[in-house]
Amino acid sequence: MFALKQYQQKILDALSDFLSKARIFDAETAFCKISQNSNKNYKPIAELPSVPYICLRVPTGGGKTYLAANTVKIVSQNYLDRDFPVVLWLTPTTTIKEQTIDTLKNINHPNRQVLESAFNGNVGIYDILEFDMIRPQDIRKKACIIVSTIQSFRVDKTEGRLIYAHNENLEVHFDFASVPDDIKLGLERIESGQDVGKIKYSFSNLLHINKPLVIVDEAHNATTELSYKVMERVNPACIVEFTATPAINSNVLVKVSALELKAEEMIKLPIILTESQSWGESVSRSVLKRKKLAEIAAKDEQYIRPIVLIQAESKGRDVTVEVVKDYLLKNEKVYEEQIAVATGEQRELDNIDILDRECKIEYVITKQALKEGWDCPFAYIFCSVANTKSAKDVEQLLGRVLRMPYAVKRSSEELNKAYAFVSSSCWTNSVNFLQDKLVSMGFENWEAENMLQQDLLRLKEVNPVTFTSKNLDISHLSQSEIEALGLSKNQNGTTVKLTQNTPKELLEKIHVLLPEDEKEKFENTMRFLVRNKMPSPAQAFEGIDVPALCLNIDGTWIKVIDRECYLQDGWNLLDYGAELSEYEFSIRNEGKSFEINVKGEKIVIRRIPQTLDMDLEYTDSKWSELDLSMWLDRRLKQVDIEQSVLIEFLKKIVEYLKSERDISLPNLVRTRFILAEVIGNKIKKYRHEAYAKAYKKLFVASNPNIETRKDFSFKLGNEFSYMYQGSKIFNKHLYAYVGKMNSEEEECAEFIDSLEEVKCWVRNSESTGDSFFLPTSTDNFYPDFVVLLNDARILVVEYKGEHLLSNDDSKEKQEIGQLWQDKSGGKCLFLMTSKEDLRWKIADKIKG
């Protein structure tokens, strides 16, 4: 089973948080309470206003199916309150459906292993066409996952007619005495014949009764009137969409940037674009690049055979598959066994394991998109000689060359990039076109701008970039400035020529003179210039080495990398009270429902008839205190707490709630999902108290076993998940890319960049794997800026809003930053500052 990547964990944490809040409040309130959605409007499905309906945005290559498999457990535990959910998993096409089923049924595949672990092996996977194989005991004792296409629910399809049809074989699933009245009202009935008016024994009604979790793969293909009608008929408890490109009406709960995927070594970036004069030159350059990559790959620790994907033209045009293949054979001396043709007529990739060492294929020629689901991380180069550019085909082929071999960053940077070769005779305005396609694949606009780069050989030239304005006011420009800009007027407006040598002051002046509706486009042009400028003196450094805070443990110095470093002997949960107050957890049995109060918030759970209870073998009277404690143990496994300790703690809590709080065991069993969440939060609180106590004892100036040591340093890198998109140009930033900043942080950065004492600086970001951090009692603290001064000292600056300077979190960060400074022997400086007096505080800190 794969370990979750950081961005995947971020997605699942956000989903868990949302569902926990939706259970207490409602979906709209929960959506707005998630911080990044505070300014967004939640858009429910009109026919199902109370059903949580959210979208998780993941770019191409982000592992959506694996995330979806992880989602089943999270929704089941945090919202459905069922041990074994019913899941309707919708895919965009039959091909993707079949591939999804294959991975979910394969016991050795990570997608299945996630489910096996979540439900203790009690998992059933069904094609929608196999619905009559599902037994009542399967629904009670297994997580039942039914995989279908959205099209299968069309009434004009054979599958659709079967799904909605009355089926006597399904009668065993229908016990109407136990079905709540409001659910009965939504069930479809027989419309003709002697049984007219009776409820259908149909699969759609079976889904309706069981209120499934609905997972939608590539949701932008499913946001149609048909899909909403389907949702109403199957009566979902919750809908979770996964897509790279959300529809405008999607409730995007959390989104992942393409650079987060790059930082997690999932995809190759940037894409290096090379334009040639002719299609033949593009093919030849692709061949040459493949040979160079193959030489580099031969030195890699793992087997990699770089592959070129060539998009040819359809029959009847000039550069067909046959023409390209002939060019490879005769002009480039490629062997025929190294070429595969993948078209509707020729399927030379079928039944081929292209990752096999014995496979000889180095070039794949296609006309349009390759077969859905075909995946080859060895594909490094996209070469298009086609004169017509289908957006869908280009997106798919680009997606093929982005996946990273073995999902591990390669030792050579050349193997961490993807490559695109096009000819200007076939492609006009290729940069903008490819940027648009990257956006369609889930990239943000700014990522598409930054992650598509032209051939580095060409960037060494000082080639001008033209910018045309319809309404540029040139009356404030001097003649010398007009000449420096190569300014000219034409029918489209005023055109200026910008190069990497255009003075910064002149660029900023043009920005001021432009009308508001043209400023953003000009900012994009300036970012292109900054990104591709010749390296500045600051960029000549390989990185900034920042001394780390270290601990001496038994005579050995170690770098403080996590909280385990300062709680060497762990902590004992049994040292803390095994009890829950009435404020923390209380139950009122309302007959048909339970009202649970958790810290002042009410959760109402409708009583489930025992005949529909997913734990039929454990009805109220059959559960013992030990059964409940063991169930809670399975839900609350803790890596730092031994099972025997956890079970003992849980038994004490259950006993306390029964004897001291007078809550009956059946009521505890019925509300066990909420109880598990409350106890889990209690354990987190106790853990924090243990770490905070150890932290305060350890990190004090009087402790001789703490030093700031350069031999244990952070070497700052340049990977950013989100980049700065403002108009400011920074001359001393260590890398061409600057991490994301708000307007006040931007002002702080601009002042740092202007100081004579500064050699270079870097925007420090939590999203990068090698950023500088200091420990706190709760997590790691990543200051905003790291600065290398001309005298070799390191200045670390944390910018805070004025209202945050005095809170407990800021005080703790100030204390650890000061300790890091004090233990450095004068080599390091730490400053926490705000907008007020920012300039003199930084200057004063440097002067000492």
| 571-610 pLDDT tens trace | 999 999 999 999 999 887 665 566 777 776 666 665 444 3
Which backbone phi and psi does 653 adopt, to 5 degrees? -65, -45
Q: Where does the chain hold its CATH 3.40.50.300 domain(s)?
A: 261-460
Highest-pLDDT range among 40-54, 361-375, 446-460: 40-54
Q: Are 571 and 690 in contact (CB under 8 A)?
A: yes
Residue 5 has pLDDT above 80, yes or no: yes
Q: For position 122, what pLDDT does the model report? A: 96
CATH architecture for segment(s) 261-460:
3-Layer(aba) Sandwich (3.40)
Provide φ and ψ at 756, rounded to 5°. -65, -30
**Radius of gyration for the alpha carbons in the chain, expressed in angstroms and rounded:** 31
pLDDT at residue 459, as a whole number: 39
**508 confidence band (pLDDT: 50, 70, 90):** confident
Say whether the peptide bond before residue 246 is cis (omega within 30 degrees of 0): no
Q: How many whole angstroms separate alpha carbon 344 and alpha carbon 207?
A: 38
The DSSP symbol for 730 reads -
* Rounded Cα gap, residues 566 and 468, in angstroms: 59
Of 601 and 95, the structure prediction assigns the larger pLDDT to: 95
Q: Which comes out higher in pLDDT, residue 215 or 317?
A: 215
Distinct helix (H) and strand (E) counts, the chain = 27, 29
Stretch among 225-239, 453-467, 546-560, 807-821 having the lowest mean pLDDT: 453-467
The predicted model gives 40-45 an average pLDDT of 87
The mean pLDDT of 317-335, rounded to a whole number, is 91
Q: Which of 38-47, 526-535, 556-565, 595-604 is predicted with the least confidence, judged by mean pLDDT? A: 526-535
Contact 471, 444 (CB under 8 A): no
Q: What is the predicted pLDDT for the residue at 576?
A: 96
Dihedral-angle region of residue 839 (phi above 0 means left; psi in -120 to 50 means alpha; beta otherwise): alpha
Are the CB atoms for 626 and 651 separated by under 8 Å?
A: yes
Please, what is the average pLDDT of the chain? 84
Band of the pLDDT at 205, cuts 50, 70, 90?
very high
The answer, yes or no, to whether residue 655 has pLDDT greater than 60, is: yes
Q: For residue 172, what are the CA distances in angstroms to 30, 168, 190?
A: 38, 9, 18
Report the distance separating Cα 716 and Cα 707, nearest Å.
Answer: 20
Residue 379: its H or E element: strand 379-384
The stretch 623-640 carries a mean pLDDT of 93
CATH 3.40.1350 fits 538-553+716-847, yes or no: yes
Q: Are 538 and 790 in contact (CB under 8 A)?
A: no
For residue 273, what are the β-bridge partners?
Answer: 420, 454
Tell me, what's the pLDDT at 593? 61
Residue 155 has a pLDDT of 73
- Dig out the tokens for 786 from the structure: 């790291």
Strands laid side by side in the 363-366 sheet? 339-341, 363-366, 307-311, 379-384, 418-423, 271-276, 452-454
pLDDT at 610: 38
> According to CATH, where is 3.40.1350 located in the chain?
538-553+716-847
What pLDDT is stored for residue 53 in this prediction? Answer: 94
What is each CA distance from 433 to 310, 312, 439, 449, in whole angstroms?
18, 18, 10, 11
Distance separating alpha carbons of residues 145 and 422, to the nearest angstrom: 44
Question: pLDDT value at position 496?
Answer: 82
The amino acid that residue 363 corresponds to is Y
CATH 3.40.1350, applies to 54-256 = no
Band (pLDDT 50/70/90 cuts) for residue 32 is confident
44 or 430, which is more confident: 44
pLDDT in tens, 55-87: 998 888 888 999 999 999 999 999 998 899 999
Over range 789-805, report the average pLDDT.
87
How many other β-carbons are positioned within 10 Å of the β-carbon of residue 119?
A: 19
Closest by CA position to 234, among listed 49, 88, 71: 88
Closest CA to 755 of 734, 736, 732: 732
- Say which residues have a Cβ less than 8 Å from residue 206's Cβ, sequence separation at least 6: 131, 134, 170, 173, 174
Task: Give the H or E element holding residue 505.
Answer: helix 504-513
Secondary structure element (H or E) that encloses residue 512, with its range = helix 504-513
Q: What is the mean pLDDT of residues 87-93?
A: 93
Q: Which residues contact 593 (CB under 8 A, 6 or more apart)?
A: 604, 605, 606, 607
Residue 365 parent element (H or E): strand 363-366
Structure tokens at 567: 């709680």
- CA 69/CA 74 separation, integer angstroms: 10
* Cβ-based neighbours of 534, under 8 Å, separated by 6 or more: 460, 500
**CA–CA distances in Å: residue 156 to residues 133, 142, 146, 151, 729:** 23, 32, 20, 9, 59
Residue carrying structure tokens 């016990």: 175
Q: Once rounded to an integer, what is the mean pLDDT over residues 245-273?
A: 85
pLDDT beyond 60 at 38? no
Higher pLDDT, 835 or 616: 835
Residues 383, 423: contact at Cβ < 8 Å? no
Weakest-pLDDT range from 309-323, 460-474, 809-823: 460-474
Give the whole-number percent of the chain exceeding pLDDT 90: 42
Q: Name the residue with tokens 């399809």.
A: 157
pLDDT at 225: 59
Distance CA 57, CA 55 (A): 6
Confidence band, pLDDT 50/70/90 cuts, at residue 815: very high
**Segment 199-213 mean pLDDT:** 94
Residue 618 confidence class, pLDDT cut points 50, 70, 90: very low
